[in-house]
Structure 1
Amino acid sequence: MGLVFDWSESPETTVILCFHMNTHRTQKQEQEQEQEEEARHEWDLSLSTVVSSSSSSASDVVGAIEFDPTDNILATAGISRKIRFYGLASLLRNTAGVCGGAGGGVSFVDQVTACEYYICTPAKLSSLRWRPGSCSRVIGSGDYDGVVTEYDLEKRTPVFERDEHGGRRVWSVDYTRHGGAAAVGASGSDDGTMQVWDPRCPPEESVGVVRPAGLCRSAVCCVEFDPSGGHAVAVGCADRRGYVYDMRKLVDPALTLQGHTKTVSYVRFLDGGTVVTAGTDGCLKLWSVEDGRVIRTYEGHVNNRNFVGLSVWRNGALFGCGSENNRVFVYDRRWRKPVWVDGFEPVGMTSGSDKRFVSSVCWRQSGVDQCTLVAGGSDGVLQVYVGKRKP
C-alpha cells in the first residue's frame, strides 16, 4: 500500500485495519458477482419458429435480415438473388406457449409456405434497408456487382439504381431516419468508399464521397446513420478501425475508433452516445461517441472470417450476433460475457457435418418487456426467437 507500519508500536491496529479492508473487498466482490448473476437471468428467450426449405444448401446464405418500420414485415436477402418477405404474425402463430420459455413447442415451417412473396434480383445481395418515408413500400439493397437498387414492393420492380462503386461489392446500405421522403442514403463498398446520395437526385449526382482509410482503400464493410436522428454516421472498415463522421462535415472523421485487431465488419448505434462494433477478431466493443473511449469489450462468440451479423435492441440494451460455431449469442451491454446462447441446428441436421455458421441477425425494435430476434444461417434457414423479461 506504500505505507510501513511499526508492529512494535501498534500491532492490533495494523491487523484490524488489514482484516477490515480484506473483508470489505471480499464482500464487495461477492455482491458484484451476485448482481451480475442476477442480471444474466433477466430474460427468458426460446426458439419459436424454424423456416427452412428441402433445398436449403450452402448456396442460400442469408446475408441480410430487416424488419420494416412497422415491425410487422420481415425481409431477407442473400446469395440466392431473391428478396423474400414474411409476415411476422404468420411466423409467430404459436408464440403464446413459447414466449414464457415453457409449455410451448417449436413450429417448423417450409420456406415456400412461410414466404408471402419475393422479388428476384440480378445479383447476389449483401444488405437491405427499408427506405424511410415510403410507408414500407420501398426497400433498398446493395449487391455483389457494386450496385445500389431500390425496389417498389407494390410493383415489385426496381425504381432507383446507383452504380458508382466501380463494380466492387457493396457491403452495406443505410438511410438517415429523419427527413421522411427526403432521407439521404449511404453505401459502403470494397472500393474503399462510402458514397452518400439523395434518392431524389439523378444517379450521377452525389452528396459526398468518403474514403475512411485514405489511400489504403480498405473495404468499407458497414455504414449506419444515427437512428435517433442526429447528424452522425458510423463506418466499419477493413483497416481495423471504426469511424464516426458528422454529416455536416464529411472531410475528416469526427472520431476514430481504434481497438480491434482485425476487420471491423459491423457498426451499430445503441443510442446517440454509444456505438457497438463487431470485428473478425471475435469480439464486440462498446464505444463512447463523446471521446472514442472503449466502454466494454464482449467475448464468447467465434468470428475469424465471415460476416456473422450484428443487431442491437435499443429498448433492452441487448446485442445479438451470430457465430462461426453455428450459434446465436446475446450480450447485455452491462456484462462482457454472453447472457444467452443457443445452437442453430434445425431438425434433421447433425452437428459438425459441415461448416455452417449463423450469418445474419436482426432484433425487432418494438416492445420493452418482450422481444423478438431473427437469425439466418449460411444454409438459408431462418430461426425466430421470442423472449420476455422475467418478473
Structure 2
Amino acid sequence: MKNVSFQSEQTHPNPPPQDPDQEDRSTSATKFEWDFSVSAVVSSSVAGGNISDTLGVVEVNSSGNLFATGGIARKIRVYSLNSLLSSSSLEATLFDHATACHYCICTPAKLSSLKWKPGSGSQVMGSADYDGVVTEYDLETKMPVYERDEHSGRRVWSMDYSHWDPVVGASGADDGTMQMWDPRHDGGKCVAKVVLGSPVCCVEFNPFGGALVAVGCADRKAYVYDVRKIVDPVAVFDGHQRTVSYTRFLDDHTVVTSGTDGCLKMWDIEKQHMIRTYKGHTNQRRFVGLSIWRNQGLIGCGSESNQLFVYDKRWGEPIWVHGFEPEGGRRYEDGFVSSICWSQEGEDECTLVGGGSDGVVKIFSGKRKPLT
C-alpha cells in the first residue's frame, strides 16, 4: 500500500433559500461546518477500469466496522473498515482489492443489492440479483442458507430487512411487485405483495423500527406502506419527472427520494408534502446510490459526472463534492459513482464509503470543524 494526496474536492457556495419561511436561519458559516478528506482507496492492480468491475452496491454494517460490495463481477467482497482506516497518515492510503478484501463469496448472478441481516451479528447477508433471486449467505461458512425465486425471473433491484423482531424481508423487482417474505413461514413464501405495475427500484423498511416501508418506482412516484395494512399506501409522493430509483428514511417522519430527473427530494410522510429539493449532481439513467447519515442529517449520492456529492438536509445545494478520477492518469470512459453508504456511527466524525463504475472504492472521513 502507499499514500497519495487528492485535490479534487470542491465546496459549493451558499444556495439561496428555497423557502424563506422554512429555511433554517443558521449563519452561512454553518454550511461549511464539515471537513471531508479521502482516507483510503481500494482499486485493482489491473490497469484501467472495466465494465465488469462496476459496483452496484456498497453496504456498511450496523457496527461500522465492516462493509461489503457487490456488482457485475458476481462477487460479494467484505472489507474491514478498521483495517483500511488504521493508518495515521494525513494522506490517503492505497490498497489493492486482492489484499484489502477480508473475504469473498462468488455468486451465480450479477448483484444489485446487499443487506446485513439485523440480529445476526454481521454473520448473515442478504443479496438480490439480476436473475430475480434473493439469497441469504452465512458469512462464516460462505454458503447460501436461504433462497427465494418469486419474481418470475425478473431482475430484483432492491431488498431490505425489517428492524423489528422477528425479522422479515422485502424485495422489489422488474415484475412490478414489492414482496414481503419470512424465511420461517412456509419455506419463505410471500406473506404480502403490492402490485405497482411498473418496475420497483427500491425498498426500504423504517430503520427506526416502525411499521413503515418505502418503495421507489419507475412510475415516477414513491410510496409508503404500513406493513400491518398493506392494501393501500399511507403516503404517495408525486414530484419527480422520471423514475424514482432510491427511497431512504431520514427519520420516523421524513423520507428522501432520488430520481433519474437529477434531483433528490425530501418529503413529510404524514402531510405527503415535499419539503425540499436537492440539485447539483447528474443523474439521467443510472443507479448512482443514495445514503443518509441520520445522526447529523447529511445526504450522500453519486453522479454520472463521476463525482460524489454530499448535501446537508437543510440546504438544497451540495456542501461538498469529490471527483472519482482514477490515479496515475488512467481514465474510465463514461465513468460514474455507482454506490454509496454512510456508517451510522459517530456524532462529530463520520465515515462514508463510495464505489465507482470502474470498481474503485474510496473511503472518506468527515470531521466537524471546531467552533471559532
- Is the pair's TM-score, using the shorter chain for normalization, greater than 0.5? yes
Change (3 A) 1:89 1:297: same
- Pairing 1:48–2:39 present: yes
- Pairing 1:238–2:189 present: no
Alignment map for 1:16-55 (pairs within 5 Å): 35=26, 37-55=28-46
Alignment map for 1:119-158 (pairs within 5 Å): 119-158=105-144
- Pairing 1:297–2:277 present: yes
Q: Which residue of 2 aligns with 1:365?
A: 344
Give deviations 1:274-299, integer Å, cap 9, x for gaps: 00000000000000011110000000
Other structure's SS at 2:255 match: strand
Q: Which residue of 2 aligns with 1:209?
A: 193
What letter matches 1:288 in structure 2?
Answer: D
Task: State the alpha-carbon separation in 1 of the partners of residues 269 and 335 from structure 2.
Answer: 35
Task: State the alpha-carbon separation in 2 of the partners of residues 85 and 194 from structure 1.
Answer: 28
Of residues 335, 338, 357 in structure 1, which corresponds to 2:318? 338
Other structure's SS at 1:44 match: strand
Task: State the alpha-carbon separation in 2 of the partners of residues 34 and 241 from structure 1.
Answer: 31
Q: Which residue of 2 aligns with 1:58?
A: 51
Greater displacement, 63-72 / 105-114:
63-72
Of residues 81, 89, 114 in structure 1, which corresponds to 2:82? 89
Alignment map for 1:1-391 (pairs within 5 Å): 35=26, 37-55=28-46, 56-94=49-87, 96-97=88-89, 104-179=90-165, 182-203=166-187, 205-212=189-196, 217-350=197-330, 354-391=333-370
Give deviations 1:89-143, integer Å, cap 9, x for gaps: 111022x45xxxxxx1111111101001100000000000011111111000000
% same residue: 60
1:366 to partner: Cα distance: 0.2
Q: Which residue of 2 aligns with 1:12?
A: none
- Alignment: residue pair count: 347
**What TM-score comes out, normalization by structure 2 length?**
0.91
The answer on whether the counterparts of 1:239 and 1:263 sit within 8 Å (CA) in structure 2 is yes
1:54 to partner: Cα distance: 2.2
Other structure's SS at 1:183 match: coil
What letter matches 2:247 in structure 1?
Answer: V
The answer on whether the counterparts of 2:183 and 2:189 sit within 8 Å (CA) in structure 1 is no
Give deviations 1:16-61, integer Å, cap 9, x for gaps: xxxxxxxxxxxxx9xx999453122110001111100023412111
The structure whose Rg is larger is: 1
Task: State the alpha-carbon separation in 2 of the partners of residues 301 and 203 from structure 1.
Answer: 43
1:386 to partner: Cα distance: 0.3
Give deviations 1:202-249, integer Å, cap 9, x for gaps: 34622111113xxxx210000000011111000000000000000011
1:340 to partner: Cα distance: 0.4
The answer on whether the counterparts of 2:338 and 2:355 sit within 8 Å (CA) in structure 1 is yes
What letter matches 2:202 in structure 1?
Answer: C
Task: State the alpha-carbon separation in 1 of the partners of residues 110 and 207 from structure 2.
Answer: 27
What letter matches 1:134 in structure 2?
Answer: S
Greater displacement, 339-348 / 229-238:
339-348
Q: Which residue of 2 aligns with 1:26?
A: none
Task: State the alpha-carbon separation in 2 of the partners of residues 170 and 203 from structure 1.
Answer: 19
Task: State the alpha-carbon separation in 2 of the partners of residues 131 and 221 from structure 1.
Answer: 20
Task: State the alpha-carbon separation in 2 of the partners of residues 175 and 192 from structure 1.
Answer: 19
Task: State the alpha-carbon separation in 1 of the partners of residues 303 and 212 from structure 2.
Answer: 29
What letter matches 2:44 in structure 1?
Answer: S
Task: State the alpha-carbon separation in 1 of the partners of residues 339 and 187 from structure 2.
Answer: 29
Structure 1: state its 5+ residue gaps: 1-28, 98-103
Change (3 A) 1:87 1:286: same
The answer on whether the counterparts of 1:174 and 1:187 sit within 8 Å (CA) in structure 2 is yes
1:77 to partner: Cα distance: 0.4
Change (3 A) 1:36 1:333: farther
Greater displacement, 58-67 / 161-170:
58-67
**What TM-score comes out, normalization by structure 1 length?**
0.86
Change (3 A) 1:390 1:146: same
The answer on whether the counterparts of 2:343 and 2:352 sit within 8 Å (CA) in structure 1 is yes
Other structure's SS at 1:298 match: strand
The answer on whether the counterparts of 2:24 and 2:314 sit within 8 Å (CA) in structure 1 is no
More helix by share: 1
Give deviations 1:303-345, integer Å, cap 9, x for gaps: 0000000000000100000000000000000000000001111
Structure 2: state its 5+ residue gaps: 1-19
Task: State the alpha-carbon separation in 1 of the partners of residues 205 and 187 from structure 2.
Answer: 21
Task: State the alpha-carbon separation in 1 of the partners of residues 363 and 41 from structure 2.
Answer: 6
More strand by share: 2
1:71 to partner: Cα distance: 1.4
1:354 to partner: Cα distance: 1.2
The answer on whether the counterparts of 1:36 and 1:335 sit within 8 Å (CA) in structure 2 is no
CA RMSD of aligned residues (A): 1.5
